[in-house]
Amino acid sequence: MTAPILTTKTTALERKTATARVVALLRDQILSGGLPEGLQLRQEKLAAELGVSRVPIREALHQLEAEGLVRQETHKGAVVSGLSIDDLEETYEIRARLETWLLELSIPLLGPQHYARAEEWLARMAADREDEAWSSQNWNFHAALYAPANRPQTLELVRKLYLNAYRHFPLPIRLTGGRDRMNREHQLLLDLCKQGEIERAKDHLEQHILMGARHLINRLKALRQQGKSAN
């Protein structure tokens, strides 16, 4: 096969179907909090804004419904879905359960290249001090440690849980407990891995996840309570 003469045609990215583009865009917007929980997603409006007909919009909404990001009721349309406090807590419990397992499998297989990647993400987190990219970097750090476990389905599942939880915490409370504590915990986790302290590393990771969740959820509870009385 020879190289194409002209690349006047659509770029590689735009070569996806309209439906796929709509899915990607809406998913990003929802997961980043740009489209808040409870928002009505009107097909015609979305179609106009994105410059497509309603057909790709509808196909995208069905896909996002299956992913749990929106909920549809017959003849009433789609709304951005939310998670209850209980749902959030359970999400973190599942993560704790699966991530400690991934870590256990990983530790004996971790090599210099993995540590390098993990430390790179730690450094970026420390550098972008006020950035909102933190949650993505945080995930990449964790994922770097789980990579050698070679459990792609589990990793993908945990990633979805992670991303889907974060959007429910307003930015001001996301870094509760302080970056310093987070950095310390990450560093300790890394050290325990390097020392091959499987059990201690697992315990620490579990605490890291569950305690982080507890802090976040407590502040979210307070916020929601306050929001109610303010109505």
Partner DNA sequence: CTTCGAAAAATTGGATACAATAATTTCGCC
Partner DNA sequence: GGCGAAATTATTGTATCCAATTTTTCGAAG
Paired tokens of 59: 């196909």
Question: CB under 7 A: which stretch of 76-84, 89-97, 103-111, 137-145 binds DNA?
Answer: 76-84
In angstroms, the CA 7 to CA 224 distance is 52
In angstroms, the CA 100 to CA 146 distance is 9
Helix (H, G, I), strand (E, B) or coil at 52: coil
According to DSSP, the residues that pair with 96 across neighbouring strands are none
In terms of Cα–Cα distance, which of 117, 116, 135, 114 is closest to 125? 135
# residues contacting DNA (CB under 7 A): 22
Question: CB under 7 A: which stretch of 68-76, 104-112, 136-144, 208-216 binds DNA?
Answer: 68-76
Q: How far is CA 11 from the centre of its chain?
A: 28
Nearer to its own copies, 190 or 205 (CB): 205
Q: Does 75 bind DNA (CB under 7 A)?
A: yes
Rounded least distance, CB 168 to DNA, Å: 23
Q: Does 65 bind DNA (CB under 7 A)?
A: no
Nearer to its own copies, 32 or 63 (CB): 63
Sheet containing strand 40-41, strands side by side:
40-41, 77-80, 70-73
Binding site for its own copies (CB under 8 A): 15-17, 19-20, 55, 58-60, 62-67, 74, 87, 90-91, 93-94, 97-98, 101, 151-154, 157
Query: What is the contact surface with DNA in residues (CB under 7 A)?
Result: 17-19, 40-44, 51-56, 58-59, 72, 74-78
